[in-house]
Amino acid sequence: MTSVHDWTPNNPVKENRSGLIGKPVDRYEGPLKVTGTAPYAYEVQPPSPPAYGVMVGAAIATGRISGVDIAEAQATPGVLVVWTHLNAPFQAPKGTKAHPRSSAGSRPALENDRVLFFGQPVALVVGETLEAATAGAHRVKLTYAEDAPDVDFPGSLDRAISPVGEEDMEVGDFPRGFAASPVQIDATWSTPIQNHCQMEPCASTVWFEGEKCVAHTSIQMVKPAQHGLAETLGIPRDDVHLLTRYIGGGFGGKGQTYDDLILAALAARALGRPVKVAYTRQQMMHGTIHRPATVMQVQLGAEKDGRLNAFSMMTWTHCHREGNFTEHASNFGRALYAAPNRLTGHRLVKLDLPGAGPMRAPGEASGTLALECAMDELAEKLGIDPVELRTLNEPPTDPENGRPFSMRQLVRCLREGAQQFGWDRRLPTPGLVRDGRWLVGMGMAAAIRGNFLLPAKCSFSVDADGVITVRQGMTDIGTGTYTVLAQIAAETMGVPLGQVKVEIGDSELPPAPGSGGQFGAATAGSAALAAGQNLRTAIAELATGDEASPLFGGRPADVTFQDGVVAIANRSETLASLIRRAAPEGLTVEGEIKPAQDAREWSQQTYGGHYCEVGVDPVTGEVRVRRMLGVFAAGRILNAKTARSQLTGGMIWGIGSALTEGNPVDVRYGSLLNQDLAQYLAPVQADIGDLEAIMLDEVDDKANPMGIKGVGELGNSGAGAAVANAIYNACGVRVRDYPITPDKLLAGMIARGM
């Protein structure tokens, strides 16, 4: 049984003798990516010429395929195969697990004539070229027996129910506490469906080597993809070799496999040659998961001195008819502010929309857009500075379960941010500051996101050149996994960074859970540290037991590792010379991390404070972010550059959520508007002014042996609310229906007589 106390002893990462931990090291795979030579799944060169598959999406949201005419598609020059549900190869029925320990069940494609959502892949055309397959895909003629789609989320709130197995969280007596509070806020916010819009769409290149299926795909988690594909094909798990070396963004959207992988594998098997299948940009919008829309009611009851008596946050959201994903937008509020009377919960309605699922900072990204604006409204009503209001309501322990915080520097983040940003120059009364034609305002919000550690393994090898190779079935979705693993290895083994190789994204490497929920670096890195410590022990024993070594006869525990040299006091030799002589085949050891049994005795979170200054055009209602600062506390930082990139990237997502992004639903068709990147408006360079992220010094010993925590989701949490609050400060208009587009802001300004 592991305890967090087992992590207390010193280790090479904590000692950080070479100073590599925390250093803003350039990306390990950066040169490959910026020269276009990193082979993403679709660009992988197969051993023989590939065929190309193109999928056809359903043109209705719900119903049945009533007619299939593939004659013209089949007759298209260069087309090899056309499949619909009528002639697709056999696959194990949905959810089947022939192997009980598979981490995912069968996910058949083209399973039957049922259409479950608009854009669902309903046909595959494979051709000699992408062009031939694309031309063939346009010639597939399907007719449908369409049912009326049930897709109107705002119109369905009254039939939303508690998600299965969930109950509202109640502490004290919220209705009484709220009613007795002299100052109240009761307002409702709404957020639209959002799409991940990864630069790299979901894509796969698959071929068979004998019985073995070699599948390159773009996926955040290796094992479930490997197992799911094996179950679908009905082959042993070890017969699937799944690889995902380079990934152009995941953001939660690639936590599961899609039909590109299944169909590429089926076609590769049927044709006996490699097959590539990718979603088009338009297909990504419907064919993969999205962040669902929410409606969130926040009720705050406070004393006149600003202390909260009562806090409630209820979220209504939706998921697919056959799914059970819930956007837990109220959850983060359970650990954020003190209040004796509390009520939080979720209501879910199932619709014929495409699948809802996790997207960067699931829960917090939507929820903070409500609660952190409600706090701003409360601060104004009380006449208390928004930073002070949050400080006043800082809980000494977790406000719901009373557990101590492992580490909580929220107030320090807020104060540090206020000082660095020049918050004292903000005028509380909106609409008073102008710069040229622009109305200028400042806003702030708190950030919070949980921290997690999952089980993982990792192997470390040293070869006769003294090169350390890290191997792990981990993924790098653009976050910096390669780089931080290299840093941990170099620091642990006392070798220069250039003497480390990292191999990840492969189902045949020691398993790790992959990237998601900002648990990646902590989980993969802790397993790497363990492997490194085991390799140090093995090398120390080798050196001290080798008569030819100057270290011979010493105590293994006294061996130090630095600059590629192993030493005991002034007796030393290079790591390379030791291995070349004493273990010319090299050494390989594994290490492992498991969550501590007692880790959840502490409330573990990461924290931050966002500060934003916007300009609002009083003529048009256009908003431009002028500058934004985030201050974060997220444990020890492994790499100041990649961590900063993740944090500022998250902040930019917040700006997009506040101002531009969304997929409105056309309820007549059950489809989404904005089906490409010209119409789905993620922020562009010109939308982002001065942007900075600062990371406070912190080590959280309850988190993992390195004392690090995740930053991948944290930057997004609260960022949009800071933008919205700045808009209010600039022009005095609160728009509670995101995104805050010029039409909505203009209506508010006109209503205020502006």
Q: Which residues are catalytic?
A: 713
| Token pair listed for 129 | 């070229």
| Cα separation, 661 vs 608, whole angstroms | 23
The 10 Å Cβ neighbour count of residue 736 is 19
Could you tell me if 219 and 257 are in contact, meaning their C-beta atoms sit under 8 angstroms apart?
Answer: yes
User: From the CB of 58, what's the least distance to other proteins, in Å?
Assistant: 9
Q: Which CB, 174 or 438, lies closer to other proteins?
A: 438
| Cα separation, 554 vs 426, whole angstroms | 64
Overall size of the chain counted in residues? 754
Could you tell me if 551 and 566 are in contact, meaning their C-beta atoms sit under 8 angstroms apart?
Answer: yes
Q: Which CB, 493 or 623, lies closer to other proteins?
A: 623
Could you tell me if 696 and 607 are in contact, meaning their C-beta atoms sit under 8 angstroms apart?
Answer: no
Could you tell me if 539 and 575 are in contact, meaning their C-beta atoms sit under 8 angstroms apart?
Answer: yes
User: From the CB of 368, what's the least distance to other proteins, in Å?
Assistant: 22
Give the residue from 586, 540, 583, 538 showing the smallest Cα distance to 561. Answer: 540
Amino acid residing at 368: T
Q: Which CB, 617 or 713, lies closer to other proteins?
A: 617
Phi-psi region of 733 (alpha: psi -120 to 50; beta: other; left: phi over 0): beta
Q: Which CB, 429 or 685, lies closer to other proteins?
A: 685
Q: Which CB, 427 or 684, lies closer to other proteins?
A: 684
User: From the CB of 742, what's the least distance to other proteins, in Å?
Assistant: 6
The 10 Å Cβ neighbour count of residue 305 is 10
Distances (CA, A) of 76 to 39, 134, 139, 465, 743: 30, 10, 8, 55, 47
Angle between helices 259-271 and 222-233 (to 10 degrees): 50
Radius of gyration of the chain from its Cα atoms, rounded to whole angstroms? 27
Give the residue from 369, 373, 343, 388 showing the smallest Cα distance to 178. Answer: 343
Q: What is the dihedral of CA 409, 414, 419, 420, to 10 degrees?
A: 80
Q: Which residues bind other proteins (CB under 8 A)?
A: 59, 77, 118, 131, 134-135, 138, 282, 437, 617, 619-622, 624, 659-660, 664, 666, 668-669, 671, 673-676, 678-679, 681, 683-687, 741-743, 746-747, 750
Q: Which CB, 133 or 300, lies closer to other proteins?
A: 133
| Cα separation, 64 vs 200, whole angstroms | 31
**Is the link from the previous residue into 739 a cis peptide, with omega within 30 of 0?**
yes
**Residue 523 belongs to what H/E stretch?**
helix 520-544
Q: Which CB, 569 or 678, lies closer to other proteins?
A: 678
The 10 Å Cβ neighbour count of residue 32 is 15
Q: Which CB, 1 or 678, lies closer to other proteins?
A: 678
**Kindly report the CA angle at 451 between 447 and 457, in degrees rounded to 5?**
150
User: From the CB of 184, what's the least distance to other proteins, in Å?
Assistant: 32
Give the residue from 377, 423, 448, 1 showing the smallest Cα distance to 186. Answer: 377
User: From the CB of 52, what's the least distance to other proteins, in Å?
Assistant: 13
Q: Token match 């002299």: residue?
A: 182
With b for 16 or more beta-carbon neighbours within 10 A and e for fewer, the 366-375 pattern comes to: bbbbbbbbbb
User: From the CB of 618, what's the least distance to other proteins, in Å?
Assistant: 9
DSSP state of 455: -
- The SS3 of residue 574 is strand
Give start and end residues of each alpha helix (H) in 671-733: 719-731
Amino acid residing at 496: P
DSSP state of 194: B
User: From the CB of 263, what's the least distance to other proteins, in Å?
Assistant: 20
User: From the CB of 651, what's the least distance to other proteins, in Å?
Assistant: 16
Pairing, β 203-209 against β 141-146? unpaired
The 10 Å Cβ neighbour count of residue 686 is 7
**Is the link from the previous residue into 89 a cis peptide, with omega within 30 of 0?**
no
| Count helices and strands in the chain by DSSP H and E runs | 17, 29
Phi-psi region of 210 (alpha: psi -120 to 50; beta: other; left: phi over 0): left
User: From the CB of 665, what's the least distance to other proteins, in Å?
Assistant: 8
| Cα separation, 721 vs 727, whole angstroms | 10
Q: Which CB, 690 or 743, lies closer to other proteins?
A: 743
Q: Which CB, 65 or 575, lies closer to other proteins?
A: 65
Q: Which CB, 274 or 683, lies closer to other proteins?
A: 683
| Cα separation, 706 vs 724, whole angstroms | 36
Q: Which CB, 118 or 482, lies closer to other proteins?
A: 118
Give the dihedral sign, CA 364/713/686/678: negative
Could you tell me if 132 and 78 are in contact, meaning their C-beta atoms sit under 8 angstroms apart?
Answer: yes
User: From the CB of 512, what's the least distance to other proteins, in Å?
Assistant: 37
User: From the CB of 276, what's the least distance to other proteins, in Å?
Assistant: 17
Q: Which CB, 176 or 668, lies closer to other proteins?
A: 668
